[in-house]
Amino acid sequence: MSIFNTKGLSSWVSVPADSDFPIHNIPFGVVSYQGQTHCASRIGDFVIDLALLGEDGWFDDLPLGNGAVFHNPTLNAFLELDKKAWTSVRNRLIELFQSANAEIRDHDDWVNKYLIPISDVEMQMPVQVGDYTDFYSSIEHATNVGIMFRDPANALLPNWKHLPVGYHGRASSIVVSGAEIHRPYGQTLPKDATTPVFGPSRLVDFELEMAFITGKANKLGDSIPAEKADDYIFGMVIFNDLSARDIQKWEYVPLGPFLSKNFGSVISPWIVTLDALEFYRVAGPIQDPRVFPYLETLGDKNIDIHLSVSLKPADSSETAVSKSNYKYLYWNMNQQLAHHTVNGCNIKAGDMYASGTISGPTPDSYGSLLELSWQGTKPLKMNDGTERRFVSDNDSIIMRAWCEKDGRKIGFGESVCKILPAK
Ligand code: CA
């Protein structure tokens, strides 16, 4: 945990009161600015130029190997270091930008030198994603899907409470917020038909998820114990797992989702560190039956992260369609990573692991339109009077995530994407 997680902490940088990025956050990302792409942090409405701070020697005494680690167009090299290195940089930034260090602002013109207005940069993918895994860890979501597609009396499959179910997904189609994605083509089976048709998907959906990103690698053959997982996890982003429900329904038997899930997944650009999230830990649901010892965790391992989804038609304001919370997840990150590696599977820096759709207990907290409109039987009213069962062409999907406790808020910003008509 950061040694700076104290109540009175403030910054000499002016931070708007409702900002997701006060000095308690200090996330990591990658920006393009004046023709260069390099690693950065953020405070309020400013980007902190980590490449230049490193060049000027402000990280020289930290365990980074060399200060050039932030000159890269991804955070992968930084993530390949260890937790000590990650924490030392965040702590150094908090030290430099806290109010107690206000005199630094006037030395060497710090504001002009190291701070860039957020409106002047273009956000990039923070990491090159090596491997991508998607879990299925919300009991409410798994139950809803089981009720709709299988048997209401036996909604959960027999394995579900014994292991965090997941599948290996596609890394290349994960993109950063601001993406425009065309409605995908594919095969679907019309209702009551026996042969499929080919055309644009009619049932494009979002899945409200969070994803964690690993740093340190383990060797092939070695597993990561649940209680050590925090040392391997760098931080988290919002993850919109776009899904074409009609394509999914036809293709998924027997090996699971394929092309219905890899036409675009959209993340928020700033990785919020586990150090910053530590303050918002909460207990998870009671797991019954008791899990195997390799999945047991001690202490509060869930995190209280408020989540919201809005839909914004092209010519109208956004309508809130879901409010959920990361804390509802049945399986926590430590358990997911322990299970992922219990067979000796090796992980790498920059790998991404999505949580699975995060649905809450009430119908307004469901994390997909499939559930919110209950397979299209309960259309949602938009502010402009139109209805949605699934995503319409030119709709933008806006996901937000933030933590709030004792008057202290940090956030993830947004994952935004626009669905364009089929090409
Ligand atoms: Ca998913």
Residue 156 lies in a domain: yes
- 115 and 248 in a single domain? The answer is no
- 168 and 51 in a single domain? The answer is no
Residue 23 lies in a domain: no
Of 24, 38, 141, 340, the active-site residue reads 141
Given 70, 100, 123, which residue is the final one in a domain?
123
Residue 298 lies in a domain: yes
Residue 114 lies in a domain: yes
- 331 and 207 in a single domain? The answer is yes
Six token digits for residue 228: 């050590």
User: pLDDT of the chain along its 423 residues, tens only?
Assistant: 445 556 689 999 999 999 999 999 999 999 999 999 999 999 999 999 999 999 999 999 999 987 799 999 999 999 999 999 999 999 999 999 999 888 887 776 888 899 999 999 999 999 999 999 999 999 999 999 999 988 999 999 999 999 999 999 999 999 999 999 999 999 999 999 999 999 999 999 999 999 999 998 999 999 999 999 999 999 999 999 999 999 999 999 999 999 999 999 999 999 999 999 999 999 999 999 999 999 999 999 999 999 999 999 999 999 999 999 999 999 999 999 999 999 999 999 999 999 999 999 999 999 999 999 999 999 999 999 999 999 999 999 999 999 999 999 999 999 999 999 999
- 150 and 111 in a single domain? The answer is no
CB 244 within 8 A of CB 201: yes
- Expressed in angstroms and rounded, the spacing between residue 210 Cα and the centre of ligand 1 is 10
CB 280 within 8 A of CB 303: yes
Helix-strand-coil split of the chain, %, nearest 5: 25, 30, 45
| Structural domain span for residue 96 | 28-123
Query: pTM, whole model, 2 decimals?
Result: 0.97
- Expressed in angstroms and rounded, the spacing between residue 239 Cα and the centre of ligand 1 is 9
- 117 and 144 in a single domain? The answer is no
- 116 and 162 in a single domain? The answer is no
Those residues whose C-beta lies under 8 Å from the C-beta of residue 407, and which sit 6 or more positions away, are none
- Determine whether 168 is an active site residue: no
- Expressed in angstroms and rounded, the spacing between residue 240 Cα and the centre of ligand 1 is 8
Given 86, 106, 123, which residue is the final one in a domain?
123
Given 66, 91, 123, which residue is the final one in a domain?
123
